[in-house]
Amino acid sequence: MTQQNNSSSSKVWFITGASRGFGRVWAEAALKRGDKVAATARQLSSIADLNERYGENVLTLALDVTNAEQARAAVEHAHVHFGRLDIVLNNAGYSLVGTIEEASAVDVRALYETNIFGTLAVIQAALPLLREQGGGHILGTSSGLGHVTMPVIGYYASSKWAFEAIHEALAAEVAQFGIKVTIIEPGAYATEFGSQDSLKFAPGLEIYEDFKTQFVNRLRDLERGDPDATPQALFQIVDAENPPLRFNLGKHNLDWVRSAYNERLAIWEAWQAVSESAQGEPK
């Protein structure tokens, strides 16, 4: 077992999906600031270079989060190796592109196996260890789409709505053990998330082709943030005494979500009398 750094500012991270995108950016940034990182990816070769660059401060592990037993073994290995885990960051995930009619149940189940059940496997493996050590911080990479959905990627958004609900309930359940929970909600960023490696496409129906083409063209016009600008914000979250449950990453989400919730409130209020008429007499 390596010697743990006893500095009050040094932390030990466990990160899934560390081969590219935010996972890679955050893993390297944590290592550069002197933290220790258990970096995981499906293909060990994709993160092998971290060993050469950061030596004993990094532990690289192969992990397909859809394999619950492998997830448990990886979390326990990291905990034994470093002596503790301060931050467990679930970042692995991908997007399914296709309309609600186009995507098959097989496609949707596979999406949830990674985005939801893979996340749960890591959380459930980590919780006994975090309780035993007296605390820790669970982070999950969600999206602005955890509050507002879009056509064509509705199933991906649905996985993030589920992700948000699970983490919100988790936060209430584990606060008694000194365990903190934060949901990171990025807006549009120039990461590899939009690459072929991070997208799966449902077989298309011709009737939707024009609609999807117009949608994709609108997405191309979105202003994308710089992922390399994000680590300092993330560090403020993990270093905070009282970190937020939800944290918008980037400058566009808040206006978008505020508008969506204002619209929802207006509709609920417009229909309030009808809603209340369905209450009936107290039982």
For the chain, what's the residue count?
283
Closest CA to 41 of 72, 16, 14: 16
**Closest by alpha carbon to 186, among 15, 16, 11, 22?**
22
Among this protein's residues, is 212 annotated catalytic? no
Catalytic choice (54, 112, 156, 189): 156
Say whether 112 is catalytic: no
**Helix, strand or coil, per DSSP, at residue 271:** coil
Q: Is 156 a catalytic residue?
A: yes
Residue 165 CB partners (closer than 8 Å, separation 6+):
none
Exactly one of 19, 143, 155, 160 is catalytic; name it. Answer: 160
Render the burial of 195-223: b for 16+ CB within 10 Å, e for the rest. eeeeebebeeeeebeeebeebeeeeeeee
H or E, element range at 182: strand 179-186
Q: List the strands of the sheet with 246-249, edge to edge.
A: 58-62, 36-41, 12-15, 87-90, 136-141, 179-186, 246-249
Q: Are 66 and 115 in contact (CB under 8 A)?
A: no
**Options 19, 95, 142, 143, the catalytic residue:** 142
Helix-strand-coil split of the chain, %, nearest 5: 55, 15, 30
Positions marked catalytic: 142, 156, 160
